[in-house]
């Protein structure tokens, strides 16, 4: 069974530790712009919502890639960008319905969460448990739908 990230917006304080840990893990510096996980800030409601790639079972980004630069890691199940194959066409960024595949202008390549090889830096860095790495057998679209319904219900309750 693969593991997946579980994101709990009710526990997120918007501290950005996840974004900082991710950028450090991949880029060697602290810069949220280079993070593969993002925090949506709803300042009027005082809410923060973490989001990143859900590793869809039928990954639209992978299916759309014309050069097969997004491949499945057999150990983690993560859909990973093979940088030396990526031509920077950005088709995967258009195909992803959640906006979690991003273009890195400096490299001319795309970047997305790959679960840090099975030990996500964002989950390790999260001080509130809003991001956890758990056994999971339902990644992708259904997970995102349930998450969206949950966050929508939070907004309705306020």
Higher pLDDT, residue 30 or 137: 30
Same domain, 68 and 36: no
Higher pLDDT, residue 75 or 149: 75
Same domain, 79 and 107: yes
pLDDT band at 135 (very low <50, low <70, confident <90, very high): confident
The predicted model gives 113-128 an average pLDDT of: 96
Whether the pLDDT of residue 96 is over 80: the answer is yes
Helix (H/G/I), strand (E/B), else coil: 6 = strand
Hey, which residues does 111 pair with through a beta bridge? 102
Whole-number pLDDT of residue 120: 97
Same domain, 48 and 85: no
Number of domains in the chain: 2
Average pLDDT, the chain: 89
Whole-number pLDDT of residue 4: 87
CA-based max dimension of the chain: 47
The answer as to whether 156 is a domain residue is: no
State both tokens at 89: 């066409």
Same domain, 97 and 122: no
State both tokens at 111: 């970047």
Q: How far apart are CA 81 and CA 108, in angstroms?
A: 13
Whole-number pLDDT of residue 126: 98
- Residue 30 contacts residue 22 (beta carbons within 8 Å): no
Whether the pLDDT of residue 25 is over 70: the answer is yes
Cβ atoms within 10 Å of 67's Cβ, excluding its own: 11
The answer as to whether 157 is a domain residue is: no
Domain containing 30 equals: 1-52+118-130
Query: pLDDT tens-digit profile of 31-85?
Result: 999 999 999 999 999 999 999 998 988 899 999 999 999 999 999 999 999 999 9
Higher pLDDT, residue 141 or 148: 148
State both tokens at 44: 């009027």
The answer as to whether 147 is a domain residue is: no
């Amino acid at each position: 069974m693969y593991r997946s990230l579980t994101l709990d917006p009710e526990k997120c304080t918007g501290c950005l530790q996840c974004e900082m840990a991710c950028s450090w893990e991949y880029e060697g510096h602290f810069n949220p712009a280079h993070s593969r996980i993002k925090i949506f800030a709803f300042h009027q409601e005082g809410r923060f919502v973490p989001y990143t790639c859900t590793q869809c079972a039928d990954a639209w980004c992978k299916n759309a890639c014309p050069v097969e630069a997004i491949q499945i890691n057999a150990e983690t199940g993560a859909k990973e960008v093979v940088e030396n194959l990526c031509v920077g066409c950005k088709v995967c960024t258009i195909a992803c319905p959640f906006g979690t595949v991003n273009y890195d202008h400096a490299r001319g390549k795309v970047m997305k969460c790959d679960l840090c090889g099975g030990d996500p830096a964002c989950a390790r860095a999260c001080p509130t448990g809003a991001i956890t790495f758990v056994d999971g057998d339902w990644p992708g679209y259904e997970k995102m739908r349930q998450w969206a319904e949950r966050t929508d219900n939070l907004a309705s309750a306020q």
